[in-house]
Chains A and B, each alone.
Chain A
């Protein structure tokens, strides 16, 4: 095993990786930008190295700065977390060239899977079903529009590189193709430096269901079952759960086998996720390969909650040359787990990200609840990085027990000083369609009206507490004019 690992990330995932390292007696090295000098991940590491300015390109996206930090601290391996350089095959290769172990898949497997078009061909060759579509060799607007018409509208335009939903556009009307192609290409070029696009048939009311896989360097690959990730906003996941209410045991076996076959075809090692779209239900539901994420996922804790494994520990073990710690037959799902992503954003302002100081931040603590976070009370949420503050993960014996536990825990998770999506998540967990497990990837758009708080009546108890702090309409505080006692209320019930 390694004696010292550098974690090339920030926020909650850096903290989470370091926790396992410390349990294993592995020393940790944090890297940080100027914006994160007092970040939680820095304070929890054994050593910390400043790698540059606040902009990601000056720090967390700078391979040279990170490799220098690894050399300077004598780290033997680099855990990339997710995002940033985690799926950058060149960086993985540069680690190897510098004599460092990259805790992730080999660069060639990453390169094959990082390009969605190459991954699609690989899936087809491995007998894994894919969504009907086309990769136009001619990347002119006219050729892409032509391909879209041949595939048949509605279509989904997707950048060949990258992920996270960036640059993806659904097009229902042929007249919208030129503008959508231009926007998709521009976003892809800005985010990934490559504007290559492809076209897929838009699957209507699909579910997004993924399989966790793990491989070692001896060719063994296992899957760790499904995660239902249909609750998304602009292709960003908001809530994940496992097992999926749509996956029957027979379907789970078929999808798991397809995920393993794809990973083996790619020569995959370490942790990864195979994403599928699922259409229909029951044993005969259709599933299509979407993409493979060559890294640890944000939502990996729900898999840990129902399988009892520590995926980061397994990542370190196989990266250090160990064999897979389990056979497929030894793995089982037990109970039900739900994760909600708590983000600094205002759902009532079209999810506008919010930066600022966390004036009050208290995590819940109760049985069956885990919080993975990268912040503490008093921390500044920076404008430079994504808005994920914390993940609330719960496990229950049944889906209903997990759902009630998640709702209760959210009610014990006060975050004040900047807007968050906590109120939206609380409503989501009690929405009749969510309670019934009736999900698809359009759920949040379709149900937005019932999930967003009505701007009308403020909470009487909330106002009473505000009054105790000296805010509000009470005349004895000499506050507001008699004509409109509510004139000081600007934003009510978040």
Chain B
């Protein structure tokens, strides 16, 4: 990869277009900076370098035991209560966004410490929804 990079020439053409030349072969790429990352499109494939937006939105235990919304969404149902024991894979909260139901599942066996959202509430990406006890 690193020595391959040495033989590549990238020429900006303006308006987000780039000519990539490698060993005499040309390809037209499109690229743009967005959300603190470089996004590159080349013949149907996408390369994102830097902290792409959707990685921060991954549903999962962020820090310690809190679970957050992967994207702005409406809380359709809160299926658990504080103090409840849950198993890995249990659906804890159901979100809905863009006509899709998004179940938030428990990443492990745990006890629910606190619920931080209400049914019907519109939550933003990355906002903690619920806290589990530490693993």
Contact = CB atoms under 8 A, between A and B. Distances in A.
Interface of A: 164, 186-187, 190, 344, 346, 349, 351-357, 359-360, 362, 383-387, 407, 410-411, 413-420, 422-423, 425-426, 453, 457-472, 485, 488-494
A460 B1 contact: yes
A207 B119 CA distance: 38
A462 B45 contact: yes
Interface string B58-90: 100000000000111100110000000000000
Contacts of B55: 490-491
A346 B46 CA distance: 12
Interface residues of B, number: 52
B54 A461 contact: no
A465 B37 contact: no
Given A385-B99, A466-B47, A472-B49, A415 B41 contact: yes
Contacts of B12: 468
A243 B128 CA distance: 49
Contacts of B50: 466, 471, 488, 490
Interface in B7-42: 8, 10, 12, 16, 18, 20, 22, 27, 29-35, 37-42
A464 B20 contact: yes
Contacts, number: 189
Given A459-B47, A471-B49, A357 B29 contact: no
B135 interface: no
B51 to A, nearest CB: 5
A169 B13 CA distance: 50
A492 B45 contact: no
A492 to B, nearest CB: 6
Contacts of B38: 465-466, 469-472
A449 B99 CA distance: 25
Given A458-B47, A464-B10, A472-B38, A359 B32 contact: yes
A64 to B, nearest CB: 23
A416 B31 contact: yes
A237 B20 CA distance: 35
Contacts of A359: 32-34, 39
A180 to B, nearest CB: 13
B48 A491 contact: yes
Contacts of B43: 411, 426
A181 B51 CA distance: 41
Contacts of A491: 37, 48, 52, 54-55
9 contacts: A356-B53, A359-B33, A414-B16, A463-B49, A464-B10, A466-B38, A470-B33, A490-B50, A491-B52
A373 B98 CA distance: 17
Nearest to B53: A356
Contact of A360 (B16, B47, B57): B16
A195 to B, nearest CB: 15
Given A423-B44, A464-B5, A488 B98 contact: no
Contacts of B27: 461
Given A461-B42, A471-B38, 8 more contacts: A353-B100, A354-B54, A416-B32, A461-B29, A463-B1, A468-B12, A468-B18, A490-B51
A420 B48 CA distance: 12
Contacts of A416: 16, 30-32, 34, 39-41, 46
Contacts of A352: 54, 57, 70-71, 102
Pairs A-B, 6 closest by C-beta atoms: A462-B47, A494-B46, A426-B44, A414-B41, A414-B30, A471-B38
